[in-house]
Amino acid sequence: MPEKVTITDVKVILTQPGNSRLAVVKVMTSEPGLYGLGCATFTQAIFAVQAAVERHIRPFVIGWDVDRIEELWNMMMVHAYWRNGPVMNNAISGIDQALWDIKGKRAGMPLYQLLGGKSREAAYVYVHANGPTPQAVEEQVRAYMEQGFRYIRVQMGGYGGQGDTMVRPDDAPDGAYFDPRAYSRNMLNMIEHVRSAVGPEVELLHDIHERLTPIHAIQFAKDVEQYDLFFLEDALAPEDIAWFRQMRQQTATPIAMGELFNNPHEWRTLISERLIDFIRMHISQMGGITPARNAAIFANLFGIRTAWHGPEDTSPVGHAANLHLDIWAPNFGIQEWYRPSELDYEMFPGLPEVRNGYLYPNEQPGLGIDINEELAAKYPCGDIVETWTQTRLPDGSPTRP
């Protein structure tokens, strides 16, 4: 029998090449030169994830057989007894993704081959168009169309729209204010303008970002139906998922949900009762490639497609993992894409590239991506107080971001 390869060390690489703080886990092995990378990015609590990996996960996994991914994932998930939270899930994901990377390197195959092989050559992606007016959004949509993108998410004034003209109470605290009723009116007007201007061929998407109350979200989904969205994203918060039954009964607008989900109980019923059309969990938030593979297989049984979360606060390693799942999954739907910078490509050799609206994998073994640690160290993560999450209604009341 070949000699067993074991985990010898684990390190967390923190870096901030753009606006988001990123966490990449590097798993070293007993085979000289063999290591794997995994995404553990929870940008709003990046140092908590670092501590979870270094102080809790690392001592547990050292000496483990790198081939036993399924067993280790399940053991990591219950090792702390308390489970399915964003910090520990991301920490576990870093190890899990790195072990899949290692398994691919040992096999000499890209990860998608180990999952079952290609279902397609490349993955459709969608990009984000935003602007202060409907006309500005239209201009950005047209610019993306000229670049070959055929799936475009349209927002206006950021999540929740713009709140500069609101009348606030005296001494109201600072925050990211928005008016839900005005948001609904303004977004519907914007989507109507863009659809009328660019025609039916381009696929439009929109993200409510859980900003509306359930009954108003249902009304929005009904009102936007006439504009033929590819999907409406995060119409409800995880706390309100029971309302998806009423939404499904009242509108044919396709629904995508899941980026805040941690626990399979949050997506299991939505899939089994066919209450949504796309699952879009954040791969590291749910615990890595192992649970994402299982969720995709489960969703396929019910005709639900994948649309994994792919914003700037997923590391390039996480984007590579997304793409391998996209290339394999028979029920792939669409992939969110953040348009990496030149620095991203320099820091993460092997980062996938888009051509004519498709994201292509490379044929390197494992995840096919590496990290320039020396360059990453030149862009350290700073302490940040998030402002966009400090969201308030016009009267100053705190509300969901």
Q: Which tens digit of pLDDT belongs to each residue from 289-335?
A: 999 999 999 999 999 999 999 999 999 999 999 999 999 999 999 99
CB atoms inside a 10 Å sphere around CB 127: 19
Q: How much is the pLDDT for 164?
A: 58
In a domain, 385, yes or no: no
CB 5 within 8 A of CB 33: no
Q: How much is the pLDDT for 167?
A: 86
Q: How much is the pLDDT for 344?
A: 98
In a domain, 83, yes or no: no
pLDDT digits (tens, 9 = 90+) for 35-72: 999 999 999 999 999 999 999 999 999 999 999 999 99
pLDDT band at 158 (very low <50, low <70, confident <90, very high): confident
In a domain, 144, yes or no: yes
- Burial status of residue 121 (CB atoms within 10 A of its CB: 0-12, 13-18, 19 or more): exposed
- Burial status of residue 195 (CB atoms within 10 A of its CB: 0-12, 13-18, 19 or more): buried
Identity of the amino acid at 113: Q
Please give the Cα distance from 27 to 31 (Å, whole number). 12
Q: Residue 242 half-sphere exposure, CB side, CA atoms within 13 Å? A: 1
The single residue listed with the structure tokens 């967390």 is 12
In a domain, 66, yes or no: no
Q: Give the active site residues.
A: 159, 209
pLDDT band at 1 (very low <50, low <70, confident <90, very high): low
Q: How much is the pLDDT for 159?
A: 86
Q: Average of pLDDT values for 14-39? A: 97
Is this prediction's pTM over 0.75? yes
Does pLDDT of 2 surpass 80?
A: no
Does pLDDT of 229 surpass 70?
A: yes
Task: Report the number of distinct structural domains present in the chain.
Answer: 1
- Burial status of residue 371 (CB atoms within 10 A of its CB: 0-12, 13-18, 19 or more): buried
Sign of the C-alpha dihedral computed for residues 198, 132, 307 and 69 taken in this order: positive
Does pLDDT of 104 surpass 80?
A: yes
Please give the Cα distance from 34 to 198 (Å, whole number). 50
Higher pLDDT, 3 or 104: 104
Degrees (nearest 5) of the Cα angle 85, 87, 88? Answer: 70
Q: How much is the pLDDT for 256?
A: 98
CB 314 within 8 A of CB 338: yes
In a domain, 36, yes or no: no
CB 89 within 8 A of CB 285: yes
* Gyration radius (Cα) of the chain, Å: 21
In a domain, 287, yes or no: yes
Q: Residue 19 half-sphere exposure, CB side, CA atoms within 13 Å? A: 9
Least confident of 81-90, 98-107, 368-377: 81-90
CB 296 within 8 A of CB 325: yes
pLDDT digits (tens, 9 = 90+) for 66-96: 999 999 999 999 999 998 999 999 999 999 9
CA distances from 385 to 13, 162, 313, 390 (A): 21, 21, 15, 10
In a domain, 305, yes or no: yes
Q: How confident is the prediction for the chain on average, in pLDDT? A: 96
CATH number at residue 272: 3.20.20.120
Name 398's bridge partners: 392
Find all residues with CB under 8 Å of 242, minimum gap 6, and list them. Answer: none
| Beta strands per DSSP E along 222-330 | 231-233, 255-257, 278-279, 305-306
Q: How much is the pLDDT for 163?
A: 60
Domain range spanning residue 167? 114-364
Which of 2-6, 118-122, 162-166, 175-179 has the highest mean predicted lDDT (pLDDT)?
118-122
In a domain, 40, yes or no: no
CB 305 within 8 A of CB 14: no
Return the structure tokens found at 378. Answer: 């030149």
Q: How much is the pLDDT for 166?
A: 82
Please give the Cα distance from 349 to 370 (Å, whole number). 5
Q: How much is the pLDDT for 160?
A: 81
